[in-house]
Structure 1
Amino acid sequence: MAGTLVVQLAPDVWRIPLVRDFVNGFILRDDDGQVTLVDMGVKSSGPKVMAALAVIGSAPSDVTRLLLTHAHPDHAGGAAHVARETGRAFTLHHDDAAYAMEGSSPPRDRSFLLGRLVDRLSRPGRDFEPVPVERELVDGEVLPVAGGLRVVHTPGHSPGHVSLLHEDSRLLITGDAIFNVRGLRWPVKAFCTDFRMTQRTAHVLGELDYEVAAFTHGPELRDRPREAIRRFLARHRPD
């Protein structure tokens, strides 16, 4: 496969460029070799996730946890493939779990014409292949992943959207709360369930403590990312 299959973000933490840098997944590995995968990209990305696993010297049998930041087709599109390859089911926030299991996206923001149009095309199983779910996340819990992975519920982009803070390496995975595509920016308004809520809840990301910010859309920030995100949020306060 052409291109870089993994980008190391911290010891035993990698970004997987699934559609160049525009769509990303992540790998976290425990000291004992257990692997957690976060977000599986679009429908064609499943094999890339598995190839990335091989690059870091891990096998499908090492995967003990599969996570989704939310149930959108550019994150859950490859999920069913990865579930079959690893024999594992997924964990995601309660408010997105039912959508993942039926293969449909949560409603889009109907205050935007594009949101209304996309909603008309959405059908269970049409958005992405239904995803097996074994567990539901709650805000604030710390998963026993590679030294501790804290769940930060940041709804708005979807009802159950979460960001993830890896406490051991001080690395933040923003999910789609904020993009880093040609600079920091909001996700596409019409693809959010409630864009104004997205703006409000993203402000919690400025209060967390991290040294690297990783994005599901765009490359990571390693140089004072918390300050950059706080400046962005200060300039883009919700009405």
Structure 2
Amino acid sequence: MDNKISYGEDYKFIPATSVESGNGTEVLPDLYSHTVQIVNICLVGHPETKEFVLIDAGMPHSANKIISVTEKRFGTNSKPMAIILTHGHFDHVGAIIELVRHWDVSVYAHELEMPFLTGKTSYPEPDTTVEGGMISKMSSMFPIKPINLENYVKPLPEDGSVPHLPGFRWIHTPGHTPGHVSLFRDEDRALIAGDAFVTVKQEYLYKVLTQEQEISGPPRYLTTDWSAVRNSVEKLESLKPSIAITGHGLPMVGELLTDSLRRLVEEFDRIAIPDHGKFVDKSID
């Protein structure tokens, strides 16, 4: 095992949680979402086959919890065939180093996320001034330094396929980060959206704590390109997903999802774009 893999120098535990922390939802027999503090991981694979892929890697210092969840669902000493990252923000890679060391497993992400995952580039500093609630104001404590997965991280295949998930394809949904991806299965229109959109107002402490369900754009304090977010949301809405597991908030299904996504597209400026903030482009039309 290569001991050079490491977190950024600002890596630390973030004391934030929600009422759903520790809870999981079997959205489909082979699609399981589990909340780690304030973020969701997703296990894709049928428990009877013992074969699965982990989507995203939770909060800092959550590796033992994630390993416990996977073993409860797939059996003792089970390990994923791969880890797919929707993007590299701290709350989606928080346990990745420990998991890679424990499982000796490959990680896949979009080519444009590679600088943040190979020790080369930090994410922009969070926007503590952005319109929103207490979480936005707390965001200066969030880690942004690049982690370094060395050769364990590989770019997703250019043909849109997802390693070890033949039914899914990855879709480039930038805006929240340059290389953000969502995963979609055409057969049943299941969507793993990451933070392309979420189902809770992630900026507001009360709503994060209570997980009050409400469709929203990506977390504002870390989103840098609202024009790209708009295009990404429109792309996902056009797929007419029947089920959506998002990075934050409870899974959303059926008519509620259809209607909420359509409303997000139609009222994107009002629902998603902050009134003010350093990344807000006032020229967005």
Short-chain TM bin? 0.7 to 0.9
For residue 159 of structure 1, the aligned residue among 168, 171, 178 is 178
Give, as a single letter, the amino acid of the residue that structure 1 aligns with 2:153.
E
Contact 1:177 1:198 in 2 (8 A): yes
Shift of 1:146: 4.6
Residue 189, structure 1, aligned to residue 208, structure 2? no
Q: Does 1:130 align with 2:148?
A: yes
Whether contact under 8 Å (2:199, 2:215) holds in the other structure is yes
Checking the alignment, whether the CA contact within 8 Å between 1:147 and 1:167 is kept in structure 2 is no
1:13 corresponds to 2:34? no
Secondary structure of 1:74's aligned partner: coil
Give the alignment of 1:91-130 within 5 angstroms. 91-102=108-119, 105-107=122-124, 124=145, 129-130=147-148
Letter in 2 for 1:173: I
Query: In 1, distance between residues paired with 2:218 and 2:120?
Result: 21
SS at match of 1:14: strand
SS at match of 1:69: coil
Moved more, 210-219 or 191-200: 191-200
- 1:189-229 CA-to-partner distances (Å, cap 9, x unmatched) read 33113233212222101111421111110001123223321
Q: Deviations over 1:27-79 (max 9, x none)?
A: 01157432100011111222221111011133554411111100100101111
**TM-score, reference length from structure 2:** 0.71
**Separation (CA, whole Å) in 1 of partners of 2:216 and 2:149:** 29
**Structure 1 residues 105 and 220, CA, compared in 2 at 3 Å: closer, same or farther?**
farther
CA separation in 1, counterparts of 2:34 and 2:120? 23
The structure whose residues are more often strand, as a share, is 1
Which residue matches 1:213? 244
Q: Aligned partner of 1:206: which letter?
A: E
Which of 100, 106, 110 is the aligned partner of 1:83?
Answer: 100
Instruction: Give the whole-Å Cα distance in 2 for the aligned partners of 1:226 and 1:148.
Output: 22
- Unaligned residue ranges in structure 2 (runs of 5+): 1-19, 131-135, 201-211, 270-283
- Is residue 2:67 matched to residue 1:50? yes
Deviation digits for residues 125-171 of structure 1, max 9, x if unmatched?
Answer: 5xxx5335332125661225455111010111101001111334421
Seen in structure 2, the aligned counterparts of structure 1 residues 164 and 59 have a Cα distance that, compared at 3 Å, is farther
Whole-angstrom CA distance in 1 between matches of 2:247 and 2:173: 14
How far has the Cα of 1:102 moved from its partner? 1.6
Residues 138 and 207 of structure 1, relative CA distance in 2, 3 Å threshold: farther
| SS of aligned partner of 1:178 | coil
The one-letter code sitting in structure 2 at the alignment partner of 1:9 is V
Q: CA deviation at 1:4?
A: 4.2
Aligned-partner Cα distance in 2 for 1:180–1:79? 24
What is the RMSD of the two structures over their aligned residues, measured on CA atoms? 3.0
Distance in 2 between residues matched to 1:193 and 1:29, nearest whole Å = 33
Task: Tell me how far apart the structure 1 counterparts of residues 238 and 153 of structure 2 sit (CA, whole Å).
Answer: 31
8 A contact 2:173–2:182 mirrored in 1 = yes
> In 2, distance between residues paired with 1:4 and 1:113?
31
The change in CA–CA distance for 1:167 and 1:108 in structure 2 (over 3 A counts) is farther
Give ranges in structure 1 of 5+ residues lacking alignment.
Answer: none
| Contact kept in structure 1, 2:50 and 2:74, CA below 8 Å | no
- Calculate the TM-score normalised by the size of structure 1: 0.83
Alpha-carbon deviations, 1:79-132, whole Å to 9, x = none?
Answer: 11111121113100000012112286433588x8569xx79996645xxx5335
> What secondary structure does 2:183 align onto?
strand
Counterparts of 1:210 and 1:96, CA distance in 2: 25
Asked which structure has the greater CA Rg, the reply is 2
